[in-house]
């Protein structure tokens, strides 16, 4: 996906997040993030946006902790979120392709990494905000969902810190039923290894429309369909949270 496509999704999803948060009310509980109210969700996403902006705008080449979340509330908090979201968009859109800055897993370029990561960060939390106002949250774009599944499997869970592990080798197929995309996830006592496409005999198949499968893999909704050893789907639920 082109960087301009990522920033387009980031723009849209950030605006929708703010609208959903405003409509739900900052006191509303977030069903997809147990223990959080909408204000916690907005503060968290605003903090991540500003953290990412620093790497892109200043070309920071070493990791830095996120600043402590501020104490803003009410209308001021939503105004602050919108300002930070706009600043992130501006930083990404004005950055040069040669940008050199810190990232935390492989990507075609640092600029591509941050545009992609923040598009998905914002999309997932827009879904969370949508869930807080009741009704059925707006679906995730299918093309973006496929890209997000790929980022999660090959990026996040390609790192040594992934806790999705099994004592004996196991194979999971992840299959979108509407977008023609699939992955093979090999589990063992080491970090998972994901590859695009299907290979080998699976112990479990996780399948469904890309939008629903994306949300399920991020533990927001149940898996649309599980075939084979359902214990591997349960293992994913129990151990795949990003830390």
Number of domains observed in the structure of the chain: 2
Instruction: Kindly list the distances between the CA atom of residue 79 and the CA atoms of 18, 113, 124, in Å, as whole numbers in the listed order.
Output: 9, 27, 20
Instruction: Give the CATH number, domain containing residue 181.
Output: 3.30.1050.10
Cα-flanking dihedrals φ and ψ of residue 138, to 5°?
Answer: -60, 140
Torsion sign (Cα): 50, 52, 56, 58: positive
Instruction: Kindly list the distances between the CA atom of residue 200 and the CA atoms of 53, 173, 190, 209, 213, in Å, as whole numbers in the listed order.
Output: 41, 9, 19, 22, 21
Where does a domain end: 132, 164, 188? 132
Where does a domain end: 92, 109, 132? 132
Give dist(CA 111, CA 3) in Å, integer.
Answer: 8
pTM: 0.96
Same domain as 161, residue 99: no
Encoding tokens for residue 210?
Answer: 């890309």
Same domain as 158, residue 49: no
Same domain as 122, residue 183: no
Range of the domain at 25: 3-132
Q: Residue 144 half-sphere exposure, CB side, CA atoms within 13 Å?
A: 24
Same domain as 165, residue 187: yes
Cα-flanking dihedrals φ and ψ of residue 155, to 5°?
Answer: -95, -75
Where does a domain end: 83, 100, 132? 132
Q: What is the DSSP letter of 26?
A: T
Output the tens digit of pLDDT for each of the chain's 243 residues. 999 999 999 999 999 999 999 999 999 999 999 999 999 999 999 999 999 999 999 999 999 999 876 789 999 999 999 999 999 999 999 999 999 999 999 999 999 999 999 999 999 999 999 999 988 999 999 999 999 999 999 999 999 999 999 999 999 999 999 999 999 999 999 999 999 999 999 999 999 999 999 999 999 999 999 999 999 999 999 999 986
């Amino acid at each position: 996906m082109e960087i301009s496509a990522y920033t387009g999704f980031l723009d849209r999803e950030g605006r929708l997040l703010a609208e959903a948060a405003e409509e739900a009310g900052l006191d509303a509980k977030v069903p997809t993030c147990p223990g959080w109210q909408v204000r916690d969700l907005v503060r968290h996403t605003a903090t991540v946006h500003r953290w990412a902006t620093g790497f892109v705008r200043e070309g920071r080449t070493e990791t830095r902790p996120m600043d402590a979340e501020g104490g803003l509330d009410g209308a001021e908090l939503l105004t602050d979120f919108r300002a930070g979201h706009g600043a992130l968009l501006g930083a990404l859109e004005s950055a040069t392709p040669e940008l050199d800055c810190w990232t935390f897993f492989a990507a075609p370029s640092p600029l591509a990494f941050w545009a992609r990561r923040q598009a998905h960060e914002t999309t997932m939390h827009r879904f969370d905000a949508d869930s807080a106002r009741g009704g059925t949250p707006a679906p995730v774009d299918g093309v973006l969902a496929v890209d997000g599944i790929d980022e999660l499997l090959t990026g996040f869970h390609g790192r040594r810190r992934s806790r999705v592990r099994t004592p004996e080798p196991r194979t999971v197929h992840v299959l979108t039923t509407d977008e023609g995309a699939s992955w093979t996830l090999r589990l063992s006592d080491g970090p998972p290894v994901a590859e695009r496409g299907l290979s080998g005999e699976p112990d479990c198949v996780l399948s469904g429309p890309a939008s629903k499968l994306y949300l399920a893999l991020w533990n927001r909704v149940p898996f649309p369909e599980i075939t084979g050893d359902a214990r591997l789907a349960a293992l994913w639920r129990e151990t795949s949270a990003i830390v």
